[in-house]
Amino acid sequence: MRAFLAGFRLELRIIRAAPDAFIPLATAPLFALIFLSIVRQSGRPDLQADALMAPVLMTLWWIALQQAGNMITGDRWEALLEPLLATPANLASVLLGRIAALTCFGLISFLEVWIVGELAFGVSIPFEHPVALVVTLLVTAFATAGTSVAFAAVFVLTRNAYTFTNSLSYPLYLLGGVFVPAAILPGFIQPISTGIFMSWSADLLRASLKPPPIDDLWQRIGVVVLLGALSFLLGRALLFHVLRRMRTNGELATA
Amino acid sequence: MTALATTVNVMHHAFRAGLADYRAIFTWKSWLAGWMVRVIAQVAFFALIGERLGDDQKTFYLLVGNSILIAAVTGIFSLNMTTGERWAGTLPLLVASPSSPILVFSARGSYLAADGALSALAALFIAGPLFGMELPWPRVLAVVPLTAVVGLASYCFGTFLAGIVFRFRSINGLVVLTVTVLLMAACGVNVPLSYYPEALEWFSRVLPVTNGLLAIRGVLDGADTATILGNAALEAAVAVGWMTLALASFNRLASRGRRDGSLDYGA
């Protein structure tokens, strides 16, 4: 837990010094304007809440991929990986703490899209099921952090992680059903989408903003938690093997 | 060697350096399996919003707009070049050399305009049929040069922005992505220009993409040739305008960086 908290505090300091951390917070309001314009211009005000939630989910995916996913690679480039591994603290716990800080930071996008919707179009977030909404946001942040550990472990294996992460953004927005529910996607994609926690989170978020009662709320929240936890365990195991291989082959430094 | 021959020589070598950079980033396999998959997914993401709205015309509108936007996205990536030079520690050397940095940057990243146009066209010609959109033959061939103009205009705009931000390395990524989404929001990519307030509509006309996209929509919708050519000419004028501004401002901004020592890696 101490390693987790130390990682959390460290990342908050890094965010203050790194303008790139603000990229998703700069683009989330713009995406909200784009999506709201599309649905309003098409005469579909019933989709306004969905248009506001999509940028929040895109922000979390972005953080998982670009910032958290590149974390170990970045440390490796800056020759920090060796001293980090030499410390007694568990690397996965430090990493999870740092990623959790980023994910909490990303949740600011929720406030941003709320404000932009109000100011630009007078559209507010309809808090039909506030408890479900808050719980969904929290478990989504948790699952995002867990998945990010898996991304970080995989990306450190690639020769050019940035090219890889750039290529994955929109495929994951699509598969994660951030705007268009997985049920509307072509049939052959749906099974893949179902295995991604974000598609469950997106459906729950949309449902929490609509008046009808939410079916199987706690079971669906449980699936999000389960998929996030599985990703974290997978990432942790992968990280262990990757780092052991790097240590054995003397590949911890990039040179 | 005459001044013209020297300029051509510098641009030729800069272009080859750019191609070498690009080959280091992508192999043809990673371009197809990575970049193109992302491009098709981006266009499909927006086209599926049209499907969710239950309106085929809106689906096609979003599909065309977001396909052509890919040319701009890649063109704006030229902003990353100055940061790359700075990370590599070569920016001060470039500024100190007798040739103008703008010559080097404009030639070195010109492959981005070509790559952007190619990616955009691939997106349109793959995603279009996938979503059941008819591409009127042979009229659709006119989309090819028009997309190239959009890619070029975006690249010129990106080069201008590179001059503005190259002394502020830390905000480069922020500027690239915010500008890309701004173009997506303001250039008639997802909703018609008439949906915007009038001031924004005028502003969008001096940005890359807007006029070229209108010309391309005109080709696909069977508009008259004069309208298409008018919009294409406006897009070309926007390209010339941004490159002129880039030429006028870049050297002055570089000189300022030389004076205050903000060009090197540690600054």
Confidence (pLDDT) at A183: 86
- Return the top range by mean pLDDT from B1-15, B147-161, B162-176: B147-161
Residue A139 placed within a domain: yes
- Tell me the mean pLDDT in the region B5-24: 85
Residue A202 placed within a domain: yes
B103, B77, B232, B12 alpha-carbon torsion, rounded to 10° = 30
Which chain A residues contact residue B58 at CB under 8 A?
38, 42
The domain locations on chain B are 3-260
* Interface check B25 vs A, CB under 8 A: yes
Which chain A residues contact residue B38 at CB under 8 A?
166-171
Residue A189 placed within a domain: yes
- Tell me the mean pLDDT in the region A24-44: 94
Sign of CA dihedral B21, B184, A57, A33: positive
Residue A236 placed within a domain: yes
CA neighbor of B267 nearest in space, from B258, B232, A180:
B258
Total domains, chain A? 1
Look over chain A and give the mean of its residue pLDDT values, rounded to a whole number: 88
Listed as own residue / partner, the contacts of B236-241 with beta carbons closer than 8 Å and 24 or more positions apart are B236/B149, B236/B153, B238/B153, B238/B156, B238/B157, B238/B206, B238/B207, B238/B208, B238/B210, B238/B211, B239/B149, B239/B152, B239/B153, B239/B156, B239/B208, B240/B156, B241/B206
Confidence (pLDDT) at B262: 66
The alpha-carbon gap from B94 to the nearest alpha carbon of chain A, in Å, equals: 25
For B52-109, the pLDDT digits (tens) are 998 899 999 999 999 999 999 988 887 777 667 777 777 778 777 888 777 787 788 8
Neighbours of A187 (CB within 10 A): 6
For A202-253, the pLDDT digits (tens) are 999 999 999 999 999 999 999 999 999 999 899 889 888 888 888 888 777 6
Residue A255 placed within a domain: no
Which chain A residues contact residue B55 at CB under 8 A?
42
- pLDDT confidence of A159, banded at 50, 70, 90? low
* Interface check B21 vs A, CB under 8 A: no
Confidence (pLDDT) at A255: 47
What is the complex's ipTM, to 2 decimals?
A: 0.89
- Tell me the mean pLDDT in the region A22-46: 93
Look over chain B and give the mean of its residue pLDDT values, rounded to a whole number: 87
Whether residue B267 has pLDDT greater than 60:
no
For an interface test with B, the pick among A42, A47, A163, A206 (most B C-beta atoms closer than 10 Å) comes out as: A42
- pLDDT confidence of A150, banded at 50, 70, 90? confident
Range of the domain at A100: 2-249
Neighbours of B230 (CB within 10 A): 15
d(CA B76, CA B87): 19
Residue A178 placed within a domain: yes
DSSP B70-136: HHHHHHHTTHHHHHHHHHHT-HHHHHHSSS-HHHHHHHHTHHHHHHHHHHHHHHHHHHHHHTT----
* Interface check B44 vs A, CB under 8 A: yes
A37, A41, A47, A53 alpha-carbon torsion, rounded to 10° = 0
Residue A53 placed within a domain: yes
Confidence (pLDDT) at A39: 96
Residue A183 placed within a domain: yes
Chain A residues near any Cβ of chain B (below 8 Å)? 18-20, 22-23, 26-27, 30-31, 33-35, 37-39, 41-42, 44, 47, 160, 163-164, 166-171, 173-174, 179-181, 184-185
